[in-house]
Amino acid sequence: MSASPRVPYARFNEIAPAARQALLALGKAVDEAGLDKALTEIVKIRVSQINGCAFCLALHLDIARKLDVPARKLDLVAVWREAGIYSPREMAALAWAEALTTPSASTDLDRLYAQVRDVFSETEAIFLTVAIGTINQWNRIAGGLGFSPLVAKPAG
């Protein structure tokens, strides 16, 4: 990413307010479905790390801190498999998020989804998938347009 944004976030909001609102509505739907907000923020952080989106990473780290997600979990999310501090739900969600973010022909989505369903209800699994899809979309927009992480602030 260059030092200056290709399109500033504020300009994106001016030009594409309906797109921003649609993405925010997806996030709101996930929140209203009752998924644990701390868990979805950890997932958004990991996906943003994978996608190299500084804007979204800064934003979701700030939100996670406000939710009192333990600093250790935020520090070690990039190596969650080895960390030994994540719950079974968090590990299943992170594995699912990584698989959907970097799909490959060798990924056994059926096995991973079964692991998700072992610890999440069907409704939770659906909204977890929506959360993963939504943060991937935000990452593509924010990364592609080069939004500055210095202006990343929680909506609202």
Confidence of residue 154 (pLDDT cuts 50, 70, 90): low
Rounded to whole angstroms, the Cα distance separating 144 from 148 reads 11
Q: Does the residue 2 lie in any domain?
A: no
3-41 pLDDT, tens digit each = 688 999 999 999 999 999 999 999 999 999 999 999 999
Check residue 92 and give its pLDDT: 98
Q: Alpha helices of the chain — where are they, by DSSP H?
A: 9-15, 17-32, 37-51, 54-66, 71-76, 80-83, 88-101, 109-119, 122-145
User: Phi and psi dihedrals of 84, rounded to 5?
Assistant: 70, 20
**9 and 40 in contact (C-beta within 8 Å)?**
no
Q: Does the residue 94 lie in any domain?
A: yes
Rounded to whole angstroms, the Cα distance separating 87 from 90 reads 5
Contacts of 117 (CB under 8 A, 6+ apart): 125
User: Phi and psi dihedrals of 55, rounded to 5?
Assistant: -60, -55
Q: How many domains does the chain have?
A: 1
Q: What would the mean pLDDT of 119-148 be, rounded to a whole number?
A: 97
What is the CATH number for 107? 1.20.1290.10
Owning domain of residue 88:
17-150
Check residue 88 and give its pLDDT: 98
Q: pTM for the whole thing?
A: 0.94
Q: Look at residue 2 and tell me whether its pLDDT is greater than 60.
A: no
Q: Look at residue 1 and tell me whether its pLDDT is greater than 60.
A: no
45-91 pLDDT, tens digit each = 999 999 999 999 999 999 999 999 999 999 999 999 999 999 999 99
Q: What would the mean pLDDT of 98-109 be, rounded to a whole number?
A: 93
Q: Look at residue 43 and tell me whether its pLDDT is greater than 90.
A: yes
Q: Does the residue 12 lie in any domain?
A: no
Name the strand (E) or helix (H) holding 155.
Answer: none
Check residue 105 and give its pLDDT: 86
Q: Does the residue 3 lie in any domain?
A: no
